Amino acid sequence: MSDFLADLETELRAAARRRAARRRPRVPVVLRRALPALAVLAVLAAALAIVLRGAPAPDDVATTADPAAVTTIPRAAELATGCAGSRREARVIATPTVLRELLGVLRRPGAEPDGLPAAARAPGAGWVPLAAWARDGVRRAGRDRLATELHLIPGTGAARTGRPDCDGGPGDGRPALCLAAGTAGSRLAVACFTPEEIRDGAAIAITGAASGPAGPLAHGVVPDGVEAVAIEAAGRTLRAEVAENAYEARLPGLRAREPVTLRFERASSCGAEPDPRLLNAVAALRRPPAPGASVPRDALAALPGTPSEAAARIAGGGDEIAYWVVPVAERAAAPCALADLACVVPVRGDRAAGAPICDGAEAIAKHGAFIAGPHEDRVLVYGLAPAGAVRLLVRLDGRPAGGVDVVDGVAAGLLRKGIRWRDGADVGFVTEPAEREEGTVALLNGTTQAGLGATAQGELVERVPELLPAGGTVVGNTTSQHLARSEVIHLAGREAEAYPIGAALGITRVREVTREELTDAGAPGSAVIAVLLGHDSEGRMR
């Protein structure tokens, strides 16, 4: 009888998942089915009642009440338990593709404190309730954002009981993800889910006992794109923030085997747009996109916020490494905020080859942001350089170690062969500026406020003297004294200087013009760049 109930439960779960996948309101079956169908449904309903009342195995059969909600019984997590005597531990595999594609946390590079946590009274990996597990794919989700240590363990062949198969059986071979909640070395609470359960919203488990009125502790796993989960439990509704595909919540008043209703709050579809100041500071972001190229998911997962994928550009490449520069809106920013950080991340194949280096427009313009580290038997160097830099020179432990070229504001490359990385090395960076070209920058006052051009001249000399042409600056007036909006205009080939000059003065509008247009604006014949100061600059340059 228990085998019959188990098989029936499996069929009912599959049916529930199919209903959830369709995600549309259903017209009551009694209005659309004939009497034979009613008889079949009645038998299934009776059997389901038996399963929910008496089956000891996990029985979180999910049903959808509307397109945005799922009602399910949270799974009761099992305490991590080893097997008495010898047991063949689960074999090691790579992370199943379906799980990597579903969960961004599994795509990010591994680092401390990722890795399988130790479980009390269950040495090694013998407590993992999987027939096969991805040792290198284990990730600790939401570090510093979840109160409880939570590790996600991908694999295949999850034991239906939530406890390890001490006979070392092959399992059913289907992909599964187990969560382990608790401090490493303690009695971990473990529950496992299929990709379908995660996708449908049914991946939630009770992982801790009730703590007074706060109720039992629950943990869950959600697919990419979910920012929060609204949980209706015991007559109350609460909201759990999602951190790296996982969430946790206390459920006041919830008793064992009571259902909860979950609603996903999806990430906004607006996407992060790059801040114009960032485009001014990093010339590579102004390039046209490379046809058919996209940032690998593994690299996106390593970024410290919401990336503007459409604005990402390949900044350079060589030695089988591509260097992507990606605008990013910080995690703490408001929804749909502008991406005000630029991040450089090296990619080899479809994996990140190093940690991202990020900074804002103002910091990039002042001193840049750089990083160095080991790559096989070489030293990898990359980062964001101030405007005007053509090469980045590196010193290791006080000694010159060579350098890498800077192209469109991005420094990237490997140091020459023979230069070795040493952990703990003292690393220094110095940018090498380009030689100054001929010409002048004209600072033209387009208002009736006296001294505006001279004020802008002083700011440029103080902030970016290395960007000014060999002829320096000249001050004058525009042909019109009623200019509303400031802008920087430049001749062809001088955009590398024009954009950061605009950024130094807080001017985001930059465009290329002809010599005739430059002269018509009021610039002298020596000028190659003109800053037209409008009324919007009056308050900014007092």
Angle between helices 35-54 and 2-22 (to 10 degrees): 120
State the CATH number of the domain containing residue 469.
3.30.70.2390
Q: One-letter amino acid identity for 29?
A: V
Q: Are residues 169 and 21 part of one domain?
A: no
In a domain, 271, yes or no: no
Give the end of a domain, one of 402, 433, 464: 433
Whether residue 456 lies inside any domain: the answer is yes
Whether 92 and 228 map to the same domain: the answer is yes
Domain encompassing residue 524: 440-537
Domain finish residue from 219, 243, 266: 266
The answer on 116 and 237 residing in a single domain is yes
Asked whether 356 and 329 are in contact (CB, 8 A), the reply is: no
pLDDT, one tens digit per residue, over 65-112 is 334 689 999 999 999 988 776 555 778 999 999 999 899 899 887 777
The answer to whether residue 69 sits within a structural domain is no
User: Is 62's pLDDT higher than 60?
Assistant: no
Q: Quick check: helix, strand or coil at residue 40?
A: helix
What is the per-residue pLDDT across 200-242, written as a single tens digit (0 to 9) for each? 999 999 999 987 788 999 999 999 889 899 999 999 999 999 9
**Minimal CA–CA distance to 373: which of 421, 405, 409, 332?**
421
Number of H helices, E strands in the chain: 10, 33
Question: 13 with 80, same domain?
Answer: no
DSSP symbol at 30: G
145 and 288 inside one domain: no
The three-class DSSP label of residue 105 is helix
pLDDT band for position 28 (cuts 50, 70, 90): very low
Same domain as 217, residue 123: yes
Q: Are 256 and 367 contained in the same domain?
A: no
Answer yes or no: is pLDDT of 20 > 60: no
Whether 152 and 280 map to the same domain: the answer is no
Determine the Cα–Cα distance for residues 24 and 32; give it in Å rounded to an integer. 16
Count of the separate structural domains present in the chain: 4
In a domain, 465, yes or no: yes
| CA gap 346, 374 in Å, rounded | 12
Judge whether residue 297 has pLDDT over 90: no
What is the separation, in whole angstroms, between the first and last Cα of the chain?
86
Please tell me whether residues 201 and 331 are part of one structural domain: no
Pairing of strands 440-445, 427-433: unpaired
- Asked whether residue 511 is domain-assigned, the answer is yes
Claim to verify: residue 173 and residue 94 sit in the same structural domain: yes
Cβ pair 134, 93 in contact under 8 A? yes
Rounded CA-CA distance 248/219 in Å is 4
pLDDT at 104: 87
Looking at 413, 433, 453, the residue that finishes a domain is 433
> Average pLDDT over the chain, rounded to whole?
83
What is the spatial distance between Cα 500 and Cα 280, in angstroms, rounded to a whole number? 6
Angstrom distance (rounded) from CA 178 to CA 127: 11
pLDDT digits (tens, 9 = 90+) for 323-365: 999 999 987 656 667 899 999 999 999 899 999 999 999 899 8
Considering the domain boundaries, does residue 391 fall inside one? yes
pLDDT confidence bin for 402, thresholds 50/70/90: very high
| Preceding amide of 113 cis, omega within 30 | yes
- Label residue 41 by pLDDT band (50, 70, 90): very low
Coil, strand or helix: which one is 158? strand
Whether residue 26 contacts residue 41, with contact meaning beta carbons closer than 8 Å, is answered with no
Same domain, 334 and 219: no
pTM score, two decimals? 0.45
Question: If 0-12 CB within 10 Å is exposed, 13-18 middle and 19+ buried, where does residue 154 land?
Answer: buried
Q: What share of the chain is helix, strand, coil (3-state, %, to 5)?
A: 25, 35, 45
The answer to whether residue 515 is domain-embedded is yes
Beta strand 91-92 with 130-133: parallel, antiparallel or unpaired?
parallel
Model pLDDT for residues 125-145, shown as the tens digit of each residue: 889 999 999 999 999 998 878
Residue 542 domain-assigned (yes or no): no
Sign for the CA dihedral angle at 247, 251, 256, 257 comes to negative
Going by C-alpha positions, the residue among 513, 273, 284, 305 that lies closest to residue 412 is 284
Helices (H), 27-156: 35-54, 97-102
CA angle 83, 190, 107 (to 5 degrees): 115
- Residue type present at position 518: L
Q: Are residues 336 and 448 in the same domain?
A: no
Q: Which helix (H) or strand (E) element contains residue 131?
A: strand 130-133
Are 515 and 483 within 8 A, CB to CB?
no
Residue-wise pLDDT tens digits, 478-533: 988 888 889 999 999 888 788 888 888 888 889 999 999 999 999 999 999 999 99
